[in-house]
Amino acid sequence: MALQVGDQAPDFTLPDQDENLVQLSLFKGNRVVIYFYPKDDTPGCTKEACNFRDNWNIFQEKNIKVLGISKDSAKSHTKFVDKYKLPFTLLTDLEPCPVAQSYESYGLKKFMGREYMGMMRKTFVIDKSGKIEFVYLKVKADSMANQIIEDLKLE
């Protein structure tokens, strides 16, 4: 059954780009944006990360935490963060990607006639009580942060 608005967000603990463990439930009392993306430093994923970066001041002013999750290593995340000056946290969900699976963001993908298991681009906004406030299944990488800002009426 698909996660829906109003559902309790599945809790998790994952390592960040500095290999520190980050637990979702410790952010209770703050809104949290969780965005799942396929791979560091690829065109679409870079557009998405930079869109969050370019709107960072709005998220920071409203005390909204942003967590990007992919199956890349902490080392890969560090390079990505440094290259694009990303001010938010990237988390590593190694295969079989249990956190992405709990958010239904990992599964069968098709590309150029080839099928494989991979990370799906989905975004979730978690409210201050830990419940899902918004679910984005069709993400526009270059404007996801803008869409969240508009939907949460942050400006």
Distance CA 140, CA 121 (A): 9
Q: Which residues are catalytic?
A: 45
Mean pLDDT within 84-110: 95
| This prediction's pTM | 0.95
Structure tokens at 1: 């059954």
Q: State the Rg of the chain over Cα.
A: 14
Amino acid 1: pLDDT: 62
Nearest Cα to 120, choosing from 50, 67, 69? Answer: 69
Query: Would you say 3 and 124 are in contact if contact means Cβ atoms under 8 Å apart?
Result: yes
- Each residue's pLDDT tens digit, 14-33: 999 999 999 999 999 999 99
Structure tokens at 114: 């080839």
- Which domains are delineated in the chain? 13-20+29-151 (3.40.30.10)
